[in-house]
Each structure stands twice: as C-alpha cells, then as structure tokens.
Amino acid sequence: MMARGFTLLELLIAITLSAILALGTVNLVQQMSISQERVHGSADTLDRLTLAKHRITDDVQQFVPLRPTADEFGNPQPAVSLSTSGELTFTRHGWAQGIINPAHRSNLQRVHYALIDIQDDACRMGLNAAQWEQRTTLTGQCLVRRYRQHLEAERDNPWLSQVVLAPIKNLRWRVQTHADDGAEWQEEWPPFRANEAVALQALELVFDHENVGTVRFFWALPQSVPVPEASE
C-alpha cells in the first residue's frame, strides 16, 4: 500500500500554526526582555535614591547649628543658607582629619548642595551608561554636593564636587523653625532681618524623578554638637 502524503490544505494549516506559535514565542521573549529591563531599571533607581539619601543623611546628622563662616573677602556668611534655586549650604562636623598631618585642617566641613543642568559633563557620574548615551534627550537637573578642603573660603580653597543624584526635576529644600504658635516651614533662609539664632528643627527635600514620581526626604536636625571625650 502506498503511503498517503499531506494535502495542500493540511500543509497550509501546519504552516499557519507554526507561524502563530513562532510569533507568540517572539512576543513572549520581547515581553520578558522588556520586563527584565524595567526590573533592572527600577533596581538601579532604588539603589541611586538610597545612596543619595545616605549621602545627605551623613551630612545632616552631623549638622552644626550657629556656625557661620566668611567668604573670600572676609564678609560674614550665615550658618545656614537656603534659596529657592535649590541651593543649600551649612557646616557639619565629623570630617575625618588627615592621617599624615591631623592638625592641617579642622574636623568641620562646609558643604554646599546645588543644581546643575543635566547636559553638563559634571553630571556624568550621576547617570548610568544608557542615560549617558542618550543625554542629549534627557531633561532635568543634577544635584551635586560641594565641599572645601578648609572651612573658611579662600582664593586657593575651591569647591570640590560630587554628584548626588540625576536626573531630577522641581527640587525644593525647606527648613522647619519653631514658632510660638507652632512649626513653620521656610523655603529661604535666613529670611530678611531674621534672627539667625532661631533654632532649625528639621530639613525637607522634595523632587520629581522620572521613574518613581515625587520623592520626599525628611530629617530632624541636631540641636547641639556632641563634645568628643578627652583621650587618656
């Protein structure tokens, strides 16, 4: 008996089914790839947000109240300076002194947080590889932390910069003061003709991130500087 072959209709049905299965497999692989990229992107965003908060927390927890400085020309500068342009400046303690010459500098450090445009080359360390390749299409800003080798400003004592977080938008700092009738939030400090001896109770940072939306960080500010124990 001769073996019966496939009819044209059966071949067409088999080819159609194979094409449908192949298309479904391709779509499944694409969806898995997209999901994997989103998971990696979310993990990267979370890691960067966590590192940024730790960086700022390290400064805020060692905040020194009522420690003014002077600029390059000897003009007094407030202990804490806050502006609506995203700039925050204050003094912190606990800066590790040099090993070779510990007396060369103080353990106090002046820190300055500021925003720069995302297209600036200084923002590169705040972006991942994919973002840096597509930086011309990015919008927003980069939060940088600046500090000096010495507390007081001098001509040969420039700011050194570190990238904290990028890209972000609509960043706003606020400090909380204690008034007789309750707490008050200030977006600029010190206010005009304000008594700078007023204690600052808390610090708030709010910004928008393209992957997670609005982010809010809050810190209670120390009200005094711990006195180091005398070494025996």
Residue 229, pLDDT score: 45
Cβ contact 77:90 at 8 Å: no
**Kind and range of the H or E element at 16?**
helix 8-60
Residue 82 has pLDDT above 90, yes or no: yes
Place of tokens 């590192």: 51
High-pLDDT (> 90) share of the chain, %: 31
Per-residue confidence band for 104, with pLDDT thresholds at 50, 70 and 90 = low
Q: Closest Cα to residue 161, out of 178, 148, 179, 175?
A: 148
CA dist 96 and 64 (Å) reads 15
Distance CA 146, CA 137 (A): 26
Q: What average pLDDT does this structure show over 81-97?
A: 87
How far from 69 is each of 91, 108, 210, CA to CA, in Å?
9, 11, 37
Higher pLDDT among residues 216 and 76, named by residue: 216
For the cut 80, the answer to whether the pLDDT of residue 19 exceeds it is yes
Phi, psi of 202 (to 5 degrees): -155, 165
% of the chain exceeding 70 in pLDDT? 81
| Rounded mean pLDDT, 76-85 | 90
Burial of 10 (0-12, 13-18, 19+ CB in 10 A): exposed
Do 173 and 82 form a contact (C-beta atoms < 8 A)?
yes
Most trustworthy range by pLDDT among 56-65, 91-100, 154-163: 56-65
pLDDT at 146: 93
Among 114-123, 133-142, 191-200, the least confident range = 191-200
pLDDT, residue 149, reads 77
pLDDT value of position 38: 61
User: Can you tell me the distance from the alpha carbon of 228 to that of 191, in angstroms, rounded to the nearest whole number?
Assistant: 33
pLDDT at 105 over 70: no
* pLDDT number for residue 53: 94
The pLDDT of 17-39, averaged and rounded, is 75
Alpha-carbon gap, residue 62 to 106, rounded angstroms: 14
DSSP structure class, residue 227: P
Structure-token pair, residue 104: 């060369």
**Burial classification of residue 173, based on how many CB atoms lie within 10 Å of its CB (0-12 exposed, 13-18 middle, 19 or more buried):** buried
Mean pLDDT for the stretch of residues 53-64? 94
pLDDT confidence bin for 2, thresholds 50/70/90: low
- The DSSP bridge pattern shows strands 160-179 and 76-77 to be unpaired
Long-range contacts of range 46-50, CB-CB < 8 Å, 24 or more positions apart? 48/126, 48/165, 49/165, 49/209, 49/212, 49/215
Q: 154-185: per-residue pLDDT in tens? A: 777 788 889 999 889 999 999 998 765 567 89
CB 227 within 8 A of CB 206: no
pLDDT at 232: 41
Q: How confident is the model at residue 115 (pLDDT cuts 50, 70, 90)?
A: very high
Q: What rounded mean pLDDT belongs to the chain?
A: 81
